[in-house]
Chain A
Amino acid sequence: MSSTIFTRAFDRRVRTLLTVLGISVVVGGAFGTHTLWQANMEQGYSPAQPLAFNHAIMAGTHKIECTYCHTQALKGPHAGIPTVADCMKCHKEIQTKDGEGHLKEGLAQLNEYWRAKTPIPWVKVHDLADFVYFDHSRHLQPHTGLQCADCHGDVAKMDRVTRVNSLKMGWCLDCHMQAPQKNTPEGWTTRAPIHCTTCHR
């Protein structure tokens, strides 16, 4: 007699479908948000570099100060990447060979750049948007109490430099929003500014 489509089985099917849909929307949304959350996308970026340079050896094993090579960090907005000539100031003499008597890979590459008189096209790891004006020297004033590693991570342990912090604005604000505190022996109390033109102009 009845040919209705609205049977109990229909009800169950619709309900199952809705449940599955609901769960996938929630799970998918959470997964998508987590994946596309910009801070998460920025963290952990570790591109291959054109030259096999190893911070773990330089800053780790040999304990060379960061500013020995990144000379401008205390003086200006950009920390500065050493020029090939800067590298060669030491590496003219230091030409370490591996067990088989070959030059180490990075050194061989460096020599090649030096001979060709071309710069090294490093890949930017800590890359801020162009509309952000970050100044290294301002952040490395004594009273801030900041160390390079606070933002860049413990580079002295990194074979290849990895971005450990998102460097997104929310991350910046985490520090800038902190209450004033005494940071130096002289007892300066400062509070980092949080208004827009601090970083954008």
Chain B
Amino acid sequence: MSSNDATPNDPTGYAEGAPAGADAMHQGLAVLGRSEVPIHDDHVDAPSASEMTRRTAMKMLSLTAMVGMVSGCVRKPERRIIAMHDRPEYQQPGMPLYYASTWLEGAHPYGLLVKQIDGRPIKLEGLQGHPLNPGGKSTGPMQASLYSLYDPERLRSPKQGGADVSWSAADKAVVGALKGAQRVLLVTRSTLGPAEKALVARFRKAVPGALHMHYEPAQDRVRREVWKQVYGAPGEVTTSLENAKVILSIDSDFLGTDGDVLGNTRGFSATRDPNGEVFSRLYVAESGMTGTGTSADHRIPLRPSAAKEFVVGLAMALGGDSKTLSASAGRFGWDPKVLEALVKDLNANRGAAAVLAGPHLPAFVHSAVASLNATLGAAGKTLGWNPTPAAAIATDPAELLQALNAGPDVAIFLGVNPMHDFPGAGFADALGKAKFTVAQGLTEDETLAAAEIALPSAHALESWNDAAVSPGVKGLAQPMIAPLFGGRQIGDSLLAWTKALATGDDALAKTKDFHAWLKSAWGLGQTAWEGALRKGYVGSAAKTTLPAPKGAGFPEPADPVEGGYDVVLALHPNTGDGRWQGNAWLLETPETCNKVVWDNVAAMAPSTASALGVEEGDWIKVTVGEASVELPVLPQPGVQKNTIVTHVGYGRTKGAGHGNGVGVNVAALGVGLLAAKVVKASGDKYLISRTQHVFDQDYSHTDTPVKRHIALSGTPKEYAEYKAQPPRPDPSTLDPTDGTLSFPDTQKHKIPLTQIDEAVDYSKGAKWGLAIDLGQCTGCNACMLACQTENNIVIDGKEEVAKGRDMSWIRIDRYEAGPEDNPEILLQPMLCQHCDNAPCETVCPVNATTHSPEGLNEQVYNRCVGTRYCNNNCPYKVRRFNFFNYTGKQTTSPVQELRANPHVTVRTRGVMEKCTFCIQRINAAKFAVPDRGERLKDGAVTTACQQACPADAIVFGDANIKGGKIDRARKSDLAYHVLEEINVRPNVTYAARIRNVHPDLDHPVKGGH
């Protein structure tokens, strides 16, 4: 699907009819509420409200909504077809429409393609060809945005002093307070779009005393300030990692949470083919365990407060003086051989190297890294410059506190929640000093609850907006549905107030709403405007280069305290800085490295834990200055000693729905990297819910490891040796689809695999297969969330996950090997292998799981009686059983039923489910062409996981196409099947990961790692 497929939204539809549209929605909800089909236990429920239409048109109510009505009939209950009163343009019942838009919930405005069926947005994808994510890739939070759109927790009406009021009354109160106010404080996120920024400027003109602050709870303010000083402008360093041969990350999770992760991942993955022209090498020096560290070829555990020593030593070593570096290495326990290799590599690859530093590191480090990059000649090659980033530099929180303490007449908080996440102490008191507070947000969060006026926001998918995508490119976001809960976007609030205050501004007074404001700000003719909507953005990326850094004096940070602890308050790979804390999908998605769900924990090295005398689930007290918090402990291999890593944003108390009361709020400690005192605290053992418990694939009860050969990896030298081996003596003994010896363990594949029956012939039609490159996977979880959205996968909560009942169809298995303080990590996305000799099928007594002629392992929910025998007999344990009526339990409001993909059956209690290779997409692709028995083209079908995967680690296609994607992947000499020897003949092929170990350090490792 390209953006050309996107049908232009009718721009007049919602804009002109916004209130009516909203009314229609409420009527629709009323219908829906009445029509809510109860989740029967004995039936598999398809999305009951499957064909509700939401979008546009005051005349429309809904389309083919199937209303289950109780009837006394012995037959099935009578159901209704509510045809529309009038049909909107383009709309076809049950057929998807695609709209281009822009994702505005993160710091980087990625292109968005919204799939909408019968008026409901049901799936988000990356926008093909968009400058920031040209491959149409997306992040996990992007995929999960749908959850917050249909979140029943959302505030439904403006409130004044806790009581519902009308919008006009609320506006009147705000405007009344603003009139004549001397000191007004306007606090927004740092990611306002250009049109919103212009509106803020107009607001400040109308309210002379207004102060505008960009508030970010866990921002990279320090780094941005450093860049501003050394590069001379408030811009942002961008990466072009596809040009890099050597990358050094100093505590920067650039593949997970730091910066333009889609761009970083795209660039990085482009260089990770061991047989490609360039095979880059990634060095990661990091304090905690991140996806980036997992992808590293060499990983150095780094005490974050020693980053200064690391950078300074490295700079001197690049200048030829390695004494300081070796001294520091001795002092901090860095592997001198790795450092030597790093220096060699950096020296040898000037112009093709990049150094990235994490946002929480001190200013001194960032300025040192800037000069290091200059030394390495990164500018214009591996690093670029964006003078107009989407995110402004955030305001120092101290300034906000100061302004509030001064007692402003009016304080307005738009889309921020400092009551919960203000770093440090004193915010609640300071807020009390404001005479009149206004807050607008999606849900009634802590800040909204504390404000005099609380206003419901429209969701980003219900709003018009624009964004500075990259130099020369502006993105456009269009509403996909009328506001479900009568919310209003922030721009509309600002506009309403400004209009009321800016008397005498005729042009503004005539501006009907933010949509009109935006349209006039863009100044395009109708055709060009519709073209922009169709495309999602305008302009083309301008080339900008990273300026030469200017020397700037930054204070040297203090030396690490001997015996003290470093605390890193990191961004969570799923919930980020906490802005998605109300998103239960993201909360239930396991953290990349420790697989914890529904919690933030104090991750620490096992040796540190034993030094503190704590075990998993015990509590520690972390004290920074005056503030202290208590956190549950998780000993995690790979975390730097004497360092506690935890995640920000947790511990919400209000407005987060399922996220309320989840985790511990660590904002009181401050932000980023802190020096802390840590002691064991009393408290009951805390249940930490994890989706994986054993991380050693060679786990054994004795000293001899059990060699399981599940996730395979090797070094370049091993790979070369392997390639030099003579071909297998008799390849005919093996499955032809396998084709190659598996790397690097050839021993087990000497077993000839035979079968008493003649194998089923799959050569006639398509034969679907999937291939996963373990060398590419960064563990970002985008595939999991894409699958969750696409396939209506339920969440079942912390306790159920703790019992071993997580429901993901695709999971990312993580295996650790080697020393506990710095293990080697392998990630392995695991999903249904669609085995040709599927053991699950044989044992199902009722034919509920069968095989299709195209090689798919099919699961029929309505036939399943729930013996669970199939999952018992699944060697990969990828089947998921609905132990309870999870769908019913997670659906707290009928509005959530709108979210369901109508092309995938919703499962109920007692039913087994599993990955279907997105059969609905396969069928849709087939049905899109006439049935002339022709084969679908390679790439005609993309699975949800494949489409989302930012690293392109997942490939799906027809294995019968010679030279096709799957054929090529299977013929790779790195390809293997997991558990091939049990002869279930899986259709998922894995490619072993090659760790690009520096040749000086490459020695054949014994065994599979």
Contact = CB atoms under 8 A, between A and B. Distances in A.
A and B touch in the complex (CB under 8 A): yes
Contact of A80 (B86, B93, B930, B932): B93
Contacts of B64: 78, 80-81
A11 B702 CA distance: 75
A54 to B, nearest CB: 17
B850 A119 contact: no
A67 B691 CA distance: 52
A137 B905 contact: no
Interface in A94-128: 113, 117-124, 127
A197 B46 contact: no
Contacts of A81: 64, 81, 83
Interface in B78-95: 78-87, 92-95
Contact of B850 (A41, A42, A141, A196): A196
Interface stretch (A21-29, A57-65, A82-90, A151-159): A82-90
B860 interface: yes
B858 A195 contact: yes
B473 interface: no
Contacts of A127: 66, 76, 79
B487 to A, nearest CB: 25
Contacts of A195: 850-853, 858
A83 B81 CA distance: 11
A131 B927 CA distance: 18
Given A82-B83, A119-B62, A190-B933, A197 B923 contact: yes
A35 to B, nearest CB: 9
B860 A200 contact: yes
Given A75-B92, A119-B62, A130 B81 contact: no
A190 B931 contact: yes
B791 to A, nearest CB: 9
A141 B48 CA distance: 29
Given A47-B78, A131-B44, A196-B858, A119 B84 contact: yes
Interface in B928-974: 930-933
A85 B923 contact: no
B916 A143 contact: no
Contacts of A141: 930-931
Contact of A197 (B61, B76, B858): B858
B903 interface: yes
B958 to A, nearest CB: 16
A89 to B, nearest CB: 11
A201 B790 CA distance: 12
A76 B80 contact: no
Contact of B927 (A42, A123, A137): A137
Given A200-B860, A200-B862, A133 B86 contact: no
B723 to A, nearest CB: 40
Nearest to B84: A83
A141 B861 CA distance: 29
A153 to B, nearest CB: 18
B59 A122 contact: no
Contact of B905 (A86, A121, A131, A135): A131
B83 A72 contact: no
Given A76-B92, A80-B93, A130-B47, A122 B920 contact: no
Contacts of A201: 903-905, 916, 919-920, 923
In this complex, the member of B62, B74, B81, B861 whose beta carbon has the largest number of chain A beta carbons within 10 angstroms is: B81
Contact of A83 (B48, B67, B85, B927): B85
A78 B94 CA distance: 7
Contact of A84 (B44, B45, B86, B916): B86
B395 to A, nearest CB: 50
B856 interface: yes
Chain A interface bracket (under 10, 10 to 19, 20 to 34, 35 or more): 35 or more
B75 interface: yes
B50 interface: yes
A124 to B, nearest CB: 5
Given A121-B82, A137-B927, A76 B93 contact: yes
Given A76-B95, A77-B94, A193-B853, A124 B81 contact: yes
Contacts of B856: 197
A124 B51 CA distance: 14
Tell me the dominant secondary structure on chain B's binding face. Answer: loop
Given A78-B93, A196-B850, A118 B61 contact: yes
Nearest to B921: A201
Nearest to B74: A41
A31 interface: no
In this complex, the member of B45, B83, B853, B863 whose beta carbon has the largest number of chain A beta carbons within 10 angstroms is: B83
A41 B75 CA distance: 7
Nearest to B71: A47
A9 interface: no
A138 B927 contact: yes
Contacts of B862: 129, 131, 200
Contact of B45 (A124, A130, A135): A130
B29 to A, nearest CB: 16
B903 A83 contact: no
A130 B46 contact: yes
A131 B860 CA distance: 9
A84 B66 CA distance: 18
Given A130-B47, A131-B44, A138-B931, A118 B853 contact: no
A171 interface: no
Nearest to A75: B92
Interface string A21-60: 0000000000000000000011001010000000000000
Contacts of A133: 903, 920, 923
B841 to A, nearest CB: 11
Interface in B30-70: 43-48, 50-51, 59, 61-62, 64, 66-67
Contacts of A190: 931, 933
Given A83-B85, A123-B78, A137-B927, A72 B905 contact: no
A77 B920 CA distance: 13
Contacts of A80: 64, 83, 92-93
A121 B85 contact: no
Contacts of B79: 123-124, 127
Contacts of B87: 83, 85-86
Contacts of A119: 61-62, 82-85
Contacts of B852: 195-197
B104 to A, nearest CB: 32
B80 A122 contact: yes
Contacts of B85: 83-85, 113, 117-119
Contacts of B903: 133, 201
Interface in A151-176: none
Nearest to B932: A188
Interface in B899-920: 903-905, 916, 919-920
B717 to A, nearest CB: 45
Contact of A121 (B67, B916, B927): B67
A196 B78 CA distance: 27
B800 to A, nearest CB: 24
Contacts of A123: 78-81
Nearest to B918: A201
Contacts of A193: 853
A72 B863 CA distance: 30
27 contacts: A41-B74, A72-B92, A75-B92, A76-B92, A77-B94, A78-B94, A80-B92, A84-B85, A85-B86, A85-B87, A119-B83, A120-B82, A121-B80, A121-B81, A121-B82, A123-B80, A124-B66, A127-B76, A127-B79, A129-B862, A131-B46, A193-B853, A195-B853, A196-B850, A197-B919, A200-B858, A201-B916
Given A75-B95, A196-B860, 6 more contacts: A42-B75, A78-B64, A83-B84, A84-B85, A190-B933, A197-B919
Interface of B: 43-48, 50-51, 59, 61-62, 64, 66-67, 74-76, 78-87, 92-95, 850-853, 856, 858, 860-863, 903-905, 916, 919-920, 923, 927, 930-933
- 9 residue pairs, one from A and one from B, having the closest CB atoms: A130-B46, A81-B83, A85-B86, A78-B93, A195-B852, A77-B94, A196-B858, A131-B862, A131-B905
